[in-house]
Protein backbone atom coordinates (compact mmCIF):
# COMPACT_ATOMS: atom_id res chain seq x y z
CA UNK A 1 0.00 0.00 0.00
CA UNK A 2 1.27 3.50 -0.68
CA UNK A 3 2.07 5.57 2.39
CA UNK A 4 -0.74 8.09 1.98
CA UNK A 5 -3.24 9.59 4.41
CA UNK A 6 -5.75 6.88 5.23
CA UNK A 7 -8.77 6.40 7.47
CA UNK A 8 -9.74 2.84 8.38
CA UNK A 9 -13.20 2.42 9.91
CA UNK A 10 -13.84 -0.82 11.76
CA UNK A 11 -17.20 -1.92 13.13
CA UNK A 12 -17.39 -4.06 16.23
CA UNK A 13 -20.64 -5.62 15.00
CA UNK A 14 -20.99 -8.01 12.06
CA UNK A 15 -23.67 -10.47 11.18
CA UNK A 16 -27.17 -10.45 12.62
CA UNK A 17 -28.96 -11.95 15.60
CA UNK A 18 -30.11 -14.77 13.31
CA UNK A 19 -26.69 -15.25 11.68
CA UNK A 20 -23.96 -14.16 14.08
CA UNK A 21 -20.38 -14.09 12.88
CA UNK A 22 -18.15 -16.64 14.65
CA UNK A 23 -15.70 -15.06 17.12
CA UNK A 24 -12.76 -16.44 15.13
CA UNK A 25 -13.97 -14.61 12.01
CA UNK A 26 -14.39 -11.38 14.02
CA UNK A 27 -10.81 -11.70 15.26
CA UNK A 28 -9.50 -12.17 11.72
CA UNK A 29 -11.54 -9.19 10.48
CA UNK A 30 -10.14 -6.90 13.19
CA UNK A 31 -6.60 -8.17 12.58
CA UNK A 32 -6.88 -7.45 8.84
CA UNK A 33 -8.25 -3.96 9.47
CA UNK A 34 -5.40 -3.27 11.88
CA UNK A 35 -2.85 -4.50 9.32
CA UNK A 36 -4.30 -2.09 6.76
CA UNK A 37 -4.03 0.74 9.29
CA UNK A 38 -0.46 -0.22 10.19
CA UNK A 39 0.56 -0.02 6.52
CA UNK A 40 0.58 3.78 6.65
CA UNK A 41 2.47 6.19 8.84
CA UNK A 42 -0.17 8.84 8.30
CA UNK A 43 -3.59 7.54 9.22
CA UNK A 44 -6.33 7.08 11.75
CA UNK A 45 -8.19 3.95 12.80
CA UNK A 46 -11.77 4.61 13.83
CA UNK A 47 -13.60 1.83 15.67
CA UNK A 48 -17.37 2.03 16.03
CA UNK A 49 -19.87 0.00 18.00
CA UNK A 50 -22.88 1.91 16.65
CA UNK A 51 -23.17 0.21 13.27
CA UNK A 52 -22.53 -3.04 11.47
CA UNK A 53 -21.31 -3.59 7.93
CA UNK A 54 -23.28 -0.60 6.59
CA UNK A 55 -21.29 2.10 8.38
CA UNK A 56 -21.95 4.63 5.62
CA UNK A 57 -25.69 4.08 5.98
CA UNK A 58 -25.76 3.85 9.77
CA UNK A 59 -23.24 6.58 10.57
CA UNK A 60 -22.87 8.86 7.56
CA UNK A 61 -21.41 11.69 9.64
CA UNK A 62 -18.62 9.40 10.85
CA UNK A 63 -17.73 8.51 7.26
CA UNK A 64 -17.91 12.16 6.16
CA UNK A 65 -15.60 13.19 9.00
CA UNK A 66 -13.13 10.46 8.04
CA UNK A 67 -13.17 11.65 4.42
CA UNK A 68 -12.64 15.24 5.55
CA UNK A 69 -9.70 14.15 7.70
CA UNK A 70 -8.07 12.34 4.76
CA UNK A 71 -8.56 15.34 2.46
CA UNK A 72 -7.16 17.77 5.04
CA UNK A 73 -4.23 15.47 5.75
CA UNK A 74 -3.47 15.12 2.03
CA UNK A 75 -3.60 18.89 1.54
CA UNK A 76 -1.35 19.51 4.54
CA UNK A 77 1.11 16.87 3.42
CA UNK A 78 1.14 18.23 -0.14
CA UNK A 79 1.93 21.74 1.16
CA UNK A 80 4.82 20.37 3.22
CA UNK A 81 6.16 18.40 0.24
CA UNK A 82 5.99 21.26 -2.23
CA UNK A 83 9.52 22.19 -3.28
CA UNK A 84 10.54 25.82 -2.96
CA UNK A 85 10.39 27.90 -6.11
CA UNK A 86 13.39 27.58 -8.40
CA UNK A 87 15.98 30.34 -8.14
CA UNK A 88 16.26 32.63 -11.09
CA UNK A 89 19.60 32.57 -12.87
CA UNK A 90 21.84 35.56 -12.13
Average pLDDT over residues 58-82: 89
Please say if the pLDDT value at position 87 is more than 90: no
Query: What residues make up the domain containing 66?
Result: 6-81
Instruction: Note whether residue 86 is domain-resident.
Output: no
Answer for the pair 1, 39: CB distance below 8 angstroms, yes or no: yes
pLDDT, averaged across the chain? 83
Please say if the pLDDT value at position 50 is more than 80: yes
Instruction: Note whether residue 88 is domain-resident.
Output: no
Instruction: Note whether residue 90 is domain-resident.
Output: no
How would you label 70-89 residue by residue, b for 16+ Cβ within 10 Å and e otherwise? beebeeeeeeeeeeeeeeee
**How many structural domains comprise the chain?**
1
**Radius of gyration, CA atoms only, the chain:** 18
Q: Which pLDDT tens digit goes with each residue over 14-34?
A: 766 677 778 888 888 888 888
Please say if the pLDDT value at position 11 is more than 90: no
Amino acid sequence: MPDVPMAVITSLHHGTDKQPVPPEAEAVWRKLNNEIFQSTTYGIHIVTAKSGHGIGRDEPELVLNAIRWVLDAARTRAKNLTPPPAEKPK
